Structure 1
Protein backbone atom coordinates (compact mmCIF):
# COMPACT_ATOMS: atom_id res chain seq x y z
CA UNK A 1 0.00 0.00 0.00
CA UNK A 2 1.39 3.37 -1.08
CA UNK A 3 0.87 6.12 1.52
CA UNK A 4 0.13 9.62 0.23
CA UNK A 5 2.28 12.62 1.08
CA UNK A 6 1.27 16.21 1.82
CA UNK A 7 0.30 17.88 -1.44
CA UNK A 8 -0.71 14.68 -3.27
CA UNK A 9 -4.11 14.59 -4.92
CA UNK A 10 -6.07 11.48 -4.00
CA UNK A 11 -9.32 9.92 -5.10
CA UNK A 12 -11.66 8.06 -2.77
CA UNK A 13 -15.28 7.10 -2.16
CA UNK A 14 -17.09 7.19 -5.51
CA UNK A 15 -14.77 9.64 -7.26
CA UNK A 16 -14.29 12.35 -4.65
CA UNK A 17 -10.91 14.05 -4.92
CA UNK A 18 -8.86 16.24 -2.63
CA UNK A 19 -5.43 17.49 -1.65
CA UNK A 20 -3.67 15.81 1.26
CA UNK A 21 -3.00 18.35 4.01
CA UNK A 22 -1.74 16.08 6.78
CA UNK A 23 -0.58 12.48 7.00
CA UNK A 24 -1.40 10.54 10.16
CA UNK A 25 -0.45 6.99 11.16
CA UNK A 26 -3.61 5.39 9.74
CA UNK A 27 -5.19 8.16 7.67
CA UNK A 28 -4.82 11.45 5.82
CA UNK A 29 -6.67 14.74 6.21
CA UNK A 30 -7.91 15.92 2.82
CA UNK A 31 -9.01 19.35 1.55
CA UNK A 32 -12.04 18.77 -0.68
CA UNK A 33 -12.23 22.33 -2.03
CA UNK A 34 -9.88 21.14 -4.81
CA UNK A 35 -12.90 19.74 -6.69
CA UNK A 36 -14.57 22.12 -9.16
CA UNK A 37 -18.04 20.97 -8.06
CA UNK A 38 -17.23 21.16 -4.33
CA UNK A 39 -19.95 23.72 -3.54
CA UNK A 40 -22.61 21.75 -5.44
CA UNK A 41 -21.91 18.63 -3.35
CA UNK A 42 -22.53 20.42 -0.03
CA UNK A 43 -19.63 18.72 1.71
CA UNK A 44 -17.42 19.82 4.59
CA UNK A 45 -14.14 21.46 3.51
CA UNK A 46 -12.00 18.70 4.99
CA UNK A 47 -12.37 15.01 5.69
CA UNK A 48 -10.34 12.09 7.03
CA UNK A 49 -9.62 9.11 4.78
CA UNK A 50 -8.01 5.82 5.87
CA UNK A 51 -4.89 4.82 3.94
CA UNK A 52 -6.73 1.71 2.69
CA UNK A 53 -9.50 3.76 1.09
CA UNK A 54 -7.80 6.02 -1.46
CA UNK A 55 -5.60 6.00 -4.53
CA UNK A 56 -3.00 8.64 -5.37
CA UNK A 57 -3.85 10.26 -8.69
CA UNK A 58 -1.22 13.01 -8.75
CA UNK A 59 2.00 13.43 -6.81
CA UNK A 60 2.89 16.68 -5.07
CA UNK A 61 5.12 19.03 -7.02
CA UNK A 62 8.68 18.79 -5.80
CA UNK A 63 10.62 21.94 -4.98
Structure 2
Protein backbone atom coordinates (compact mmCIF):
# COMPACT_ATOMS: atom_id res chain seq x y z
CA UNK A 1 0.00 0.00 0.00
CA UNK A 2 1.47 3.32 -1.10
CA UNK A 3 0.75 6.23 1.25
CA UNK A 4 0.03 9.60 -0.34
CA UNK A 5 2.05 12.70 0.46
CA UNK A 6 0.98 16.33 0.80
CA UNK A 7 0.17 17.72 -2.64
CA UNK A 8 -0.68 14.36 -4.23
CA UNK A 9 -3.95 14.05 -6.13
CA UNK A 10 -5.91 10.97 -5.11
CA UNK A 11 -9.05 9.23 -6.35
CA UNK A 12 -11.51 7.53 -4.03
CA UNK A 13 -15.16 6.51 -3.64
CA UNK A 14 -16.55 6.22 -7.18
CA UNK A 15 -14.26 8.74 -8.87
CA UNK A 16 -14.08 11.60 -6.38
CA UNK A 17 -10.71 13.37 -6.52
CA UNK A 18 -8.87 15.67 -4.20
CA UNK A 19 -5.53 17.14 -3.19
CA UNK A 20 -3.92 15.75 -0.03
CA UNK A 21 -3.47 18.49 2.58
CA UNK A 22 -2.44 16.45 5.62
CA UNK A 23 -1.21 12.90 6.18
CA UNK A 24 -2.25 11.15 9.39
CA UNK A 25 -1.31 7.72 10.70
CA UNK A 26 -4.31 5.92 9.16
CA UNK A 27 -5.78 8.52 6.79
CA UNK A 28 -5.33 11.68 4.75
CA UNK A 29 -7.26 14.96 4.76
CA UNK A 30 -8.25 15.89 1.22
CA UNK A 31 -9.36 19.18 -0.37
CA UNK A 32 -12.14 18.41 -2.87
CA UNK A 33 -12.49 21.92 -4.35
CA UNK A 34 -10.11 21.04 -7.22
CA UNK A 35 -12.82 18.97 -8.94
CA UNK A 36 -14.50 20.75 -11.87
CA UNK A 37 -17.98 19.70 -10.72
CA UNK A 38 -17.40 20.41 -7.01
CA UNK A 39 -20.23 22.99 -6.79
CA UNK A 40 -22.74 20.60 -8.39
CA UNK A 41 -21.94 17.76 -5.97
CA UNK A 42 -22.75 19.84 -2.87
CA UNK A 43 -19.99 18.23 -0.80
CA UNK A 44 -17.97 19.59 2.09
CA UNK A 45 -14.70 21.24 1.01
CA UNK A 46 -12.58 18.69 2.88
CA UNK A 47 -12.91 15.07 3.86
CA UNK A 48 -10.92 12.29 5.54
CA UNK A 49 -9.99 9.18 3.54
CA UNK A 50 -8.44 6.00 4.96
CA UNK A 51 -5.14 4.92 3.35
CA UNK A 52 -6.81 1.67 2.21
CA UNK A 53 -9.55 3.54 0.31
CA UNK A 54 -7.71 5.66 -2.28
CA UNK A 55 -5.34 5.47 -5.22
CA UNK A 56 -2.74 8.10 -6.09
CA UNK A 57 -3.53 9.72 -9.45
CA UNK A 58 -0.69 12.25 -9.56
CA UNK A 59 2.34 12.48 -7.28
CA UNK A 60 3.53 15.92 -6.22
CA UNK A 61 7.16 14.96 -6.86
CA UNK A 62 6.74 13.84 -10.49
Identify the TM-score tier after normalising by the shorter chain.
Answer: over 0.9
TM-score by length of 2: 0.97
Greater fraction of residues in helix: 1
Secondary structure of the residue aligned to 2:33 is: helix
- Count residues with an aligned counterpart: 62
| SS of match in other structure, 2:43 | coil
Measured after TM superposition, the shift of residue 8 of structure 1 is 0.1
Runs of 4+ more than 2 Å apart: none
Q: Which runs of 5+ in 2 are unaligned?
A: none
Residue 10 in 1 paired to residue 15 in 2?
Answer: no
RMSD: 0.9
Question: With structure 1 as the length reference, what TM-score do the two structures score?
Answer: 0.95
CA shift digits 1:12-56 (9 cap, x unpaired)? 000000000000000000000010000000000000000000000
